[in-house]
Chain A
Amino acid sequence: MGTLLILLVLTLFLAAILTGGYNKEFLLRARQTKVWDWLTTVDHKKIGIMYFLSGFFFLLIGGLEAIFMRLQLAVPNNDLFTGDIFNQLLTMHGTTMIFLAAMPMIFGLINVIMPLQIGARDVAFPFLNSLGFWLFFWGGILLNLSWFFGGAPNAGWTSYTSLALNSYSPGLGVDYYVLGLQITGIGSLMSGINFIATIINMRTPGMTFLRMPMFTWTSFVTSALLVFAMPPLTVALLLLMFDRVFGAAIFDHAMGGSSVIWQHLFWIFGHPEVYIVILPAFGIMSEIISTFSKKRLFGYTSMVFATVLIGFLGFMVWVHHMFTVGLGPMSNSIFAVATMAIAVPTGIKVFNWLFTMWGGEIHFKTPMLWAVGFVPTFVIGGMTGVMLSVPPADYQYQDSYFVVAHFHYVLVGGTAFALFAGAYYWWPKMFGKMLSEKLGKWHFWLFFIGFHMTFFPQHFLGLFGMPRRVFTYQANHGLELLNLISSIGVIGMTLGTIFFMVAVVQAARSKELAPADPWDGRTLEWSIPSPVPEYNFAQLPLVRGADAFWLEKQAGNKEMTPAEPLGSIHMPSGSYIPMLMSLGLFVAGYGFVVKSWIIGAIGIAFTFIMMYIRSFEQDFGYHIEPEEINGSAKAKEVKA
């Protein structure tokens, strides 16, 4: 059914292009609409906003799946979502939250903010940036289509073989997982490359490496992790696709394969992935704590050093996810020591945040509330992490709710808190409107209390022996009360998120524009108007030290000193190709899922044709002239 539909749409589409059988005027009008503008944009701010909003959309889906699971587990012997449906829920919850919510929302913030913080007019590869977004988007859609066509993946977000092989997971679920993630994964690799090239090549004069804001530094290290951590995932998914779709035998014991290889490949990717989502969170918190304490970040250099060290060590510890596989005491010990070592740079960071606040003039605005709530929450998650890094103890904790509690303290208490904090902090820069302080505080307190209510009891559930990923439990084992409390906590998180959405709608409808520098900020993004003009900086700023904008304000200047005369600004032009190129891969992915080689071949051929078109087209963008820049600046002043 779905196959026919896709074929039909594609033939119509191709027929329209080849015969020229479309209305030229209609196309012209379509090109002038706002929708077309957003679909074809290569502007890093718009792409960032699309990343953030679609990430938030997937966050809601993943949250809904979590609510369903907690409903099922609220009372013993419940039969609301049992068996396979529960497996699908837990798999999709994990996969969605990591790949389709946390990573895109982080990419969104990096995309919007990082180029502004280093004083760049755009990222190094605007086209690639757009392509990365569309690959993520279509991959996410493909993954979620599984709910409607053929059943969602049900082998856990880690999709361990042999469970994930055809013999134990028949049906299309895991195929959707493999191909959906493959497509988003390519996009993530591109984003990583793009961010690194941007940070190295596009910094404004005077912005040396050790003057870069902390968020830019963490983005840099995260991007390096992306570049080196995505390929193992690509290989893992490729090999699993070979096994499931093309009958290969790499993970199949009966044919001489080994399922441990999957675990290695997955965790060589999987552990750096944890740092990919947590390091930018550290960066966001560093910016916020420094801004709202009115002090420069304590121990900036040690912070940079700690970030790089965490990134490096992140590749040396993957076996701590595999302590119980039986690799032997030698490798377990080595990886245990390396894991414990990571606590040192992380500790440096925590103390630096505390010392930044110490003696500062602290303003408890909403972003700062999130940051203050983040520090103790994350420390709890970190400490349970050190507990888990001891192999003999890990034999007891593994596969229990203790592990679930640990990684939710790190991922929600770390990444999700930081994303909300970053949203409140940078919303004026992204959209030109302030989010309500009042609703924001409600959001924080409801979410914070709800979060601890949900996940703190899970430590004890795990210690009492409740296994993770099992859809029910028996009464009279001492698990009822804590499970019920845990489920009630979800109400707090849900309400909090609803308050956030209300605040977003309120801000979108309000006519009041945000000032350029609402928080008395320290870094370059606050030196330009909100929302940011498409060329970012009319004149590139000259940076004279760390916290560049703060320095200028201390020296009595209202604006940055320009590093260049006002001149015409080169801008890249938009392109519809990234969207179509990714659409081709989406179609191919769908073809491989339903084992229709024709659709698969059509999709891939379509992508390659798009690549050739892109390679052959000559498009050198356009220029914005100084008169236009002055004109729009004056128009702004009149309005204000």
Chain B
Amino acid sequence: MASHIHPTDRPTKPGHLEKATLEGKNKVMGFWLFLGAETVLFACLFGTYLALRNSTMGGPTTQELYDLKLVGLATFFLLTSSLTSVLAMNAMNRLNVRAMQFWLGVTVLLGLAFLILEIYEFVHYVHEGHTFTSSAFGSSFYALVGTHGAHVTFGICWIIGLMIQTARRGLTYEMAPKLFLSSLYWHFIDVVWVFIFTLVYLLGKVG
């Protein structure tokens, strides 16, 4: 089963590089399992939030609090970053390293824009009296949206790290699965966000 490709080799033909080696196949398999686990993790946080979202203890309610325009903009940033991430993977499989680095860079910038909006939103809420300790609603809200934000932060650091590595080593059989996993992770963050804007913000606005 030993792979005949050395990890430092540079692929010469385009294709699905992430699964060209056994290590790559293992990594993709393991990462999908991890995403399955993450699905359950977020489901538990969603359940907790939905159970507690009306326990505002006299603080602002979901309808008073949420600003859909801001959320819409954040959603647009994150959705677009999902597209740029997949474009980066297309570039990788075409062995076009420069295009890949460009699209990864755009992904990181869009992620940062999303994060800035989220921080702005949180600061705004704290001024309105909606804090982590103000009520069960506050705690569960920040637990859910904050965990997602932490995932975005981690994803940004991860992609930057991989961009540096690619710049140093070029696109090798070792790098391809790593890049592919970070892209899967980024899409998953987007999937979670789809449910956050649906079940937290839109449903919260309806009441």
Q: Say if the two chains contact directly (CB < 8 Å).
A: yes
- B127 contacts chain A at the CB level, 8 A cutoff: no
A235 touches B161 (CB 8 A): no
Give 1 or 0 for each of A219-239: 1 = CB within 8 Å of chain B CB.
000000001101110111011
Contact B34 A250 (CB under 8 A): no
Contact with A along B1-33 (1 / 0, CB 8 A): 111001110000000000000100110011001
Contact pick for B56, options A242, A256, A261, CB 8 Å: A256
Residue of A nearest to B168 (CB): A616
In the bound complex, what is the Cα–Cα distance between A249 and B59 (angstroms)?
A: 14
Q: Are A200 and B137 in contact (CB under 8 A)?
A: no
For A232, what are the chain B residues with a Cβ–Cβ distance below 8 Å? 40-41, 44
Name the residue of chain A whose CB is nearest to the CB of B178. Answer: A615
User: Which of the residues B30, B56, B139 comes within 8 Å of A193, measured between beta carbons?
Assistant: B30
**Chain B residues numbered 37-57 whose CB sits less than 8 Å from any CB in chain A:** 37-38, 40-41, 44-45, 47-48, 51-52, 55-57
Beyond A201-B26, A227-B33, is A252–B136 a contact (Cβ under 8 Å)? yes
| Closest-CB distance, A144 to chain B (whole angstroms) | 27
The prevalent SS among residues of B at the interface is: helix
- Residue from A228, A567, A620 in contact with B36 in the complex, judged by beta carbons closer than 8 Å: A228
A231 cross-chain contacts in B, Cβ below 8 A: 37-38, 40-41, 44
- For B37, list chain A residues within 8 Å (CB): 189, 193, 227-228, 230-231
CB distance from A283 to the nearest CB of B (A): 20
With A238-B143, A250-B140, A258-B136: A201-B2 Cβ-Cβ less than 8 Å: no
B41 to A235, Cβ gap below 8 A? yes
In the assembled complex, A439 has its CB within 8 A of some CB on chain B: no
A contact patch SS: helix
Query: For chain B, which range describes its interface: under 10, 10 to 19, 20 to 34, or 35 or more residues?
Result: 35 or more
Query: Complex: how many Å from CA A84 to CA B128?
Result: 43
Contact B135 A256 (CB under 8 A): yes
- B139 lies within 8 A of A242 (CB): yes
Q: Check: B133 CB closer than 8 A to any chain A CB.
A: yes
Q: Is the CB of A256 within 8 A of B136?
A: yes
Contact A255:B51 (CB < 8 A) given known A247-B133, A615-B161:
no
The residue that A616 contacts in the complex, of B7, B8, B142, B165, with Cβ under 8 A, is B165
Residues from chain A with Cβ under 8 Å of B139 in the complex: 239, 242-243, 248-250, 255, 257
CB neighbours (8 Å) of B138 from chain A are 248-249
**A310 on the B face (CB < 8 A):** no
For residue B132, CB closer than 8 A to chain A, the reply is yes
Residue of A nearest to B132 (CB): A248
Given contacts A197-B33, A249-B135, A615-B165, A257 and B143 within 8 Å (CB-CB)? no
Query: Which residues of the partner chain B approach A297 to less than 8 Å between Cβ atoms?
Result: none
Whether the pair A255, B57 counts as a contact (CB closer than 8 A) is yes
Contact between chains at B57 and A256 (CB < 8 Å): yes
Asked if B190 CB lies within 8 Å of chain A CBs, one says no
State whether A570 touches B29 (Cβ < 8 A): no
Q: Check if A194 is an interface residue, CB within 8 A of chain B.
A: yes
B52 touches A618 (CB 8 A): no
Q: Which chain B residues numbered 133 to 156 have a C-beta less than 8 Å away from chain A?
A: 133-140, 142-143
* B93, chain A: closest CB distance, angstroms: 21
A200: min CB distance to chain B, Å: 6
Instruction: Identify which of residues 47-104 in chain B touch chain A, using a CB-to-CB cut-off of 8 Å.
Output: 47-48, 51-52, 55-57
Set A201, A239, A256, A540: member contacting B22, Cβ < 8 A: A201
- Distance (whole angstroms) from the CB of B81 to the closest CB of chain A: 21
The reply to whether B34 and A616 contact each other, CB–CB distance below 8 Å, is: no
| CB of B158 to closest CB in A, whole Å | 8
Quick check: A250 and B161 within 8 Å, CB to CB? no
Minimal Cβ-Cβ distance residue in B for A198: B26
Tell me the minimal C-beta distance from B71 to chain A in angstroms: 23
Question: What is the CA–CA distance of A77 and B65 in the complex, to the nearest angstrom?
Answer: 58
Residues of chain B at the chain A interface (Cβ within 8 Å): 1-3, 6-8, 22, 25-26, 29-30, 33-34, 36-38, 40-41, 44-45, 47-48, 51-52, 55-57, 132-140, 142-143, 161-162, 165, 169, 174, 178
7 contacts between A and B (CB under 8 A): A128-B30, A189-B34, A193-B37, A227-B34, A258-B136, A568-B2, A616-B165
Q: Which 6 residue pairs are nearest across A and B when measured between Cβ atoms?
A: A256-B55, A231-B41, A248-B139, A256-B136, A257-B136, A235-B44
